[in-house]
């Protein structure tokens, strides 16, 4: 699966949240407040890449995600873990522990989740 650009990811996040939306609604959802034409052009490129589909209502289009958020997240995380953490989940958790982004309580919860899935 191809990775989205930062702008495409922002639009995709808005679409996953809205589920179905016209360009105007997507523009309103975005924090960066891009121009309507910029979003329209970007979303058409995303459609060519297979991330977005649309339903036509005359000359206007209502867009919706062609890829579920979970599917994209899984591919993104697998690629990130492979590229930056030598394909080791231990390295990922160690990284967050060293950066103090995860607490001991959260680590205990993760251990309980792992043990309950066995």
7-31 residue pLDDT tens: 999 999 999 999 999 999 999 999 8
Q: Would you place residue 101 in the very low, low, confident or very high pLDDT band (cuts 50, 70, 90)?
A: confident
Q: What is the pLDDT of residue 3?
A: 80
d(CA 55, CA 20): 9
Residue 52: helix, strand or coil by DSSP?
strand
Between 48 and 100, the more confident residue is 48
Is the pTM higher than 0.85? no
For the residues 81-109, what does the mean pLDDT come to?
Answer: 91
Instruction: Evaluate whether 14 touches 26 at the Cβ level (below 8 Å).
Output: yes
Residue 32, pLDDT score: 85
pLDDT tens per residue, range 55-79: 999 999 999 999 999 999 999 899 9
The pLDDT of residue 14 is 96
Phi, psi of 51 (to 5 degrees): -90, -25
Average of per-residue pLDDT across 85-100: 90
Q: Which domains does the chain have, with CATH numbers?
A: 6-65 (1.10.10.10), 69-116 (no CATH)
């Amino acid at each position: 699966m191809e990775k989205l650009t930062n702008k495409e990811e922002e639009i995709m996040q808005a679409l996953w949240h809205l589920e179905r939306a016209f360009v105007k609604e997507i523009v309103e959802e975005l924090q960066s407040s891009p121009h309507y034409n910029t979003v329209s052009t970007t979303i058409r490129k995303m459609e060519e890449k297979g991330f977005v589909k649309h339903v036509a209502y005359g000359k206007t289009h209502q867009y919706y995600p062609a890829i579920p958020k979970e599917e994209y997240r899984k591919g993104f995380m697998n690629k990130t873990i492979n590229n930056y953490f030598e394909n080791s989940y231990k390295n990922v958790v160690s990284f967050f522990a060293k950066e103090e982004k995860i607490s001991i309580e959260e680590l205990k919860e993760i251990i309980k989740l792992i043990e309950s899935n066995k």
